[in-house]
Structure 1
């Protein structure tokens, strides 16, 4: 893809995000109509009030001003009533879109995980940790402003301002022309002032906020390591610097908003003076009366109050567009090479027992890598086999596990019970071939919730039974049962206990083929031996096929075969 094509693709993705942020037309136009009614009521309230006060000073019969009295009351109530309904309808419609936006973003992220996130198109590799969290949370939270602070003010405010200008023209053509000219000048000046004073700050706020989130994420999640290596002062300084930059940008934006409001208010005064300058000669010439002159003179103040949000809408648009660009940049336009995707005609895969798995691989690449991580591998796992894979660090063992679970694509053949997996749904493959990772993720919740996501219909009895099978029954009961917390990322459990919880989840999910990646990497030798033994004996009892990736010595009686990997390919195993 050329540079110009990449820019066009980025713009298309940004426009798509902005379109997704807009509520349905029915809801959007309802909010716009209510906003226009609120703005019109505000203008009418000041105009009728000015006419009523001036006319009342002439002491006419009450009959002549009773309609104006009713009008003042009606427009005062209408201004607040329609404003409330506009806020209610607009915010309800805009916030309803947040769920759709997040669902769409996650739907586009899921096919990339875990190996495709951070590879491929521009910038996606930067969205890690706190940066990715900022895009999924803060940047998405900015998107409702596209409807609330950009589209609605421009349309509803524009309607109210145009109607008021027509009314001023009807009362006094010269005053209507002056009002339109000053409104146009205020719009141009306000927009330019806002762009000059706050434009760059508004574009920088989203990245600076993400930088602060990333620095805080690094500080909080790595606090123990930072303390151990005496690196806490440097991490705190990074947070302080990121916070200071964000604060400075926010202050600049606030100053720009203030200058914009000041410029609009100044021109509102100019419009009032010019309205008087055109109205007084008309009064002297008998073309209008004193109450009408009061309306003509004060009408610009009311119109400019409604108009004040229009120049600010372009500042909000810059801020929202910056967030939309970052959200669009989170996911590449196309799935990176090396990440498998479902074919349009993908079929289901149904397996009722442990299948035979046959892999004939010519090469496989990490997404975005130039050199293959695996090459020339022929591997067959027979139903019920317990195979141990060994090899040095960096040999490609984890990559092989990701190929088998379809996180990585391959050049070659891969069949389950004779069915080519590239023609079936990837999720179906992962229901057959399960992975217990080297560092299993535990949610910051209790033990029950960390097990239920593997099978949400499991009862407490079934959960306790599977914990007994992996050797955690007594430990669970000693901690108070299934409600015991595991802490953030399993901070309240040991490495061995985390591996056993992950194994329990795999047993609950009932994978016929289980790939276990370095389950003993974070435990001592005695615990490592028990974990390996429990994994293999549990698998043997269930008739599962197991591929165990391990540096720990495994007794011959627990395995049916050994294989070894070096430099991305299989070599004869060393006994």
Structure 2
């Protein structure tokens, strides 16, 4: 894909996200109409009040000003009433869309996980963690500003401003023209001032906020390592600097908003002076009476109160667009190359016994990487085999595990019991071929919930039985049972215990084919031997197929075959 095509796709994705942020037309236009009624009531209130005070000074009969008295009361109540309804309708519609936006983004992210999320960022060396969290939380939270601070003010304010200018023209054509000229000048000046004073800061706020989130995430999640290597002061300094840069950008934006409001207020005064300059001669010539002159003179003040949100809407647009672009960069419009997806005609995969697995792979790539991580690889796993896969770091062992579990796509064929997996649902493949990762994820909950994640219908007796099988029975009882916490990311358990809990989950899920990736990477040699032995003997007892990826020596009696992977392919 050329650079121009890539930019076009990114623009299309940004526009799609912005459209997603807009509420349904009925709800959006009802909020806009209420906003226009509120702004119109504000302008009418000042105009009628000016007319009433001036006319009352002439001491006419009450019947001549009674309608204006009623109008002042009605417009005063209408201004607040319609404003409340506009805020209620607009925010309710926008925040309803917020839930839909999050659901849509997560629905698009799920097929990409785990290898397709942020495809290309691995090549560019970008940090994920806090950066990804910021994009899916803070940047998404900016999107409701599109209907609330961009669309509604521009449409509702524009309607009120045009109607007011027409009313001024009816009273006195010269005053109407002067008001239009002042409004046009205020729009241009206010927009330019806002762009000059706050434009750069508004575009930088989202990335700076993400940088602060990433720095805080790094500090919090790596606190133990930072303390151990005496790197905590540097990490805290990174957080401080990131916070200072964000604070400076926010202050710059606030200053820009203040300058914009000041410029608009100054031009509001100019518009009032122009109204008087055209109205006084008309009064002297008899073309205008005193109460109408008061209306013409004070009308610009009311109009500019409504108009003040229009230049600020363009600043909100810059913030919203920057957030939408960052979200579009995180969630691509199409699934990246290398990530498998279900075909429209994907069928169910039914396996009644432990299957044979056959892989004839020409190439496989990490998403976003040009060079293949695997190539020219043929692998057959017979039912109930216990195979050990070895190889140097970076040889592609984890990539092979991800190909077999359909996290990575391949150029070639992959069959389970003679059925090509490209024609079946990916989730069905993952119910047959399971993976215990090198660093299994444990939820910040108790032991029971971490196991029920694999089979939510399991009873406590079944959970205790599977823990006994993986050698954690006595350990569970000593900690007080299944209700004992494991901590955030398993902080309260050792590396070996985390691997055994992950193995227990795999046994509960009852995968016919089980891949275990480096289960001994984070434990000492004595514990490593016990873990490897327990994994292979448990698999043998269940009659399932096991592919064990390990650097730890494995006794020949426990395995049926050994494979060695080097340079992305199997070697003798």
If the TM-score is normalised by the length of the shorter chain, which range does it land in?
over 0.9
Higher alpha-carbon deviation: 256-265 or 56-65:
56-65
C-alpha deviation, 1:496, in angstroms: 1.1
2:569 matches 1:569: yes
Higher alpha-carbon deviation: 340-349 or 519-528:
340-349
Give, in whole Å, the separation in 1 of the partners of 2:127 and 2:233.
25
Name the structure 2 match of 1:179: 179
Higher alpha-carbon deviation: 461-470 or 86-95:
461-470
Distance 1:163 1:370, change over 3 A: closer
Name the structure 2 match of 1:129: 129
C-alpha deviation, 1:42, in angstroms: 0.9
Give, in whole Å, the separation in 1 of the partners of 2:282 and 2:521.
91
Higher alpha-carbon deviation: 432-441 or 241-250:
241-250
Name the structure 1 match of 2:389: 389
Distance 1:517 1:123, change over 3 A: closer
2:483 matches 1:453: no
Report the 3-state secondary structure (helix = DSSP H, G, I; strand = E; otherwise coil) of the residue aligned with 2:337: coil
Name the structure 2 match of 1:492: 492
C-alpha deviation, 1:51, in angstroms: 1.6
Give, in whole Å, the separation in 1 of the partners of 2:553 and 2:464.
30
Q: Is the 8 A contact 1:117 1:124 kept in 2?
A: no
Q: Deviations over 1:121-141 (max 9, x none)?
A: 899863611111111111111
Distance 1:65 1:122, change over 3 A: farther
Q: Is the 8 A contact 1:42 1:75 kept in 2?
A: yes
Q: Deviations over 1:282-301 (max 9, x none)?
A: 22222232222111111111
Name the structure 2 match of 1:163: 163
Give, in whole Å, the separation in 2 of the partners of 1:127 and 1:13.
23
Distance 1:417 1:215, change over 3 A: same
Give, in whole Å, the separation in 2 of the partners of 1:483 and 1:125.
40
Q: Deviations over 1:515-562 (max 9, x none)?
A: 111111111222222222222232233322111112223333433333
Name the structure 1 match of 2:100: 100
Q: Is the 8 A contact 1:513 1:544 kept in 2?
A: yes
C-alpha deviation, 1:153, in angstroms: 0.4
Give, in whole Å, the separation in 2 of the partners of 1:428 and 1:78.
60
Report the 3-state secondary structure (helix = DSSP H, G, I; strand = E; otherwise coil) of the residue aligned with 2:378: strand
C-alpha deviation, 1:406, in angstroms: 1.0
Please, which runs of 5 or more residues in structure 1 have no aligned partner?
none
Higher alpha-carbon deviation: 455-464 or 168-177:
455-464
Higher alpha-carbon deviation: 482-491 or 429-438:
482-491
Q: Is the 8 A contact 2:123 2:368 kept in 1?
A: no
Distance 1:233 1:63, change over 3 A: same
Distance 1:458 1:154, change over 3 A: farther
Higher alpha-carbon deviation: 259-268 or 117-126:
117-126
Report the 3-state secondary structure (helix = DSSP H, G, I; strand = E; otherwise coil) of the residue aligned with 1:126: coil
Name the structure 2 match of 1:533: 533
C-alpha deviation, 1:247, in angstroms: 1.1
Name the structure 2 match of 1:219: 219
Name the structure 2 match of 1:353: 353
C-alpha deviation, 1:200, in angstroms: 0.8
Give, in whole Å, the separation in 1 of the partners of 2:170 and 2:466.
82
Q: Deviations over 1:138-189 (max 9, x none)?
A: 1111111111100010001111111122222222222211111111111111
C-alpha deviation, 1:265, in angstroms: 0.3
Higher alpha-carbon deviation: 477-486 or 93-102:
477-486
Written as runs of structure 1 = structure 2, the 5 A alignment for 1:35-434 is 35-120=35-120, 126=126, 128-434=128-434
Q: Is the 8 A contact 1:362 1:412 kept in 2?
A: yes
Give, in whole Å, the separation in 2 of the partners of 1:464 and 1:291.
88
Q: Deviations over 1:244-295 (max 9, x none)?
A: 1111111111111000000000011111111112222222222232222111
Q: Is the 8 A contact 1:402 1:408 kept in 2?
A: yes
Q: Deviations over 1:409-433 (max 9, x none)?
A: 2222210010001121212111111
Name the structure 1 match of 2:470: 470
Higher alpha-carbon deviation: 261-270 or 465-474:
465-474
Report the 3-state secondary structure (helix = DSSP H, G, I; strand = E; otherwise coil) of the residue aligned with 2:137: helix
Q: CA RMSD in A?
A: 1.9
Give, in whole Å, the separation in 2 of the partners of 1:424 and 1:410.
15
Q: Deviations over 1:378-414 (max 9, x none)?
A: 2221222222222332222211111110112222221
Aligned pair count?
572
Higher alpha-carbon deviation: 278-287 or 318-327:
278-287
Q: Is the 8 A contact 2:347 2:423 kept in 1?
A: yes
2:482 matches 1:482: yes
Give, in whole Å, the separation in 2 of the partners of 1:509 and 1:189.
65
Report the 3-state secondary structure (helix = DSSP H, G, I; strand = E; otherwise coil) of the residue aligned with 1:287: coil
C-alpha deviation, 1:333, in angstroms: 4.3
Give, in whole Å, the separation in 2 of the partners of 1:116 and 1:124.
14
Higher alpha-carbon deviation: 471-480 or 231-240:
471-480
Name the structure 2 match of 1:514: 514
Give, in whole Å, the separation in 2 of the partners of 1:433 and 1:290.
88
Q: Is the 8 A contact 1:127 1:330 kept in 2?
A: no
Q: Is the 8 A contact 2:120 2:369 kept in 1?
A: no
2:439 matches 1:439: yes
C-alpha deviation, 1:434, in angstroms: 0.7
Give, in whole Å, the separation in 1 of the partners of 2:467 and 2:79.
63
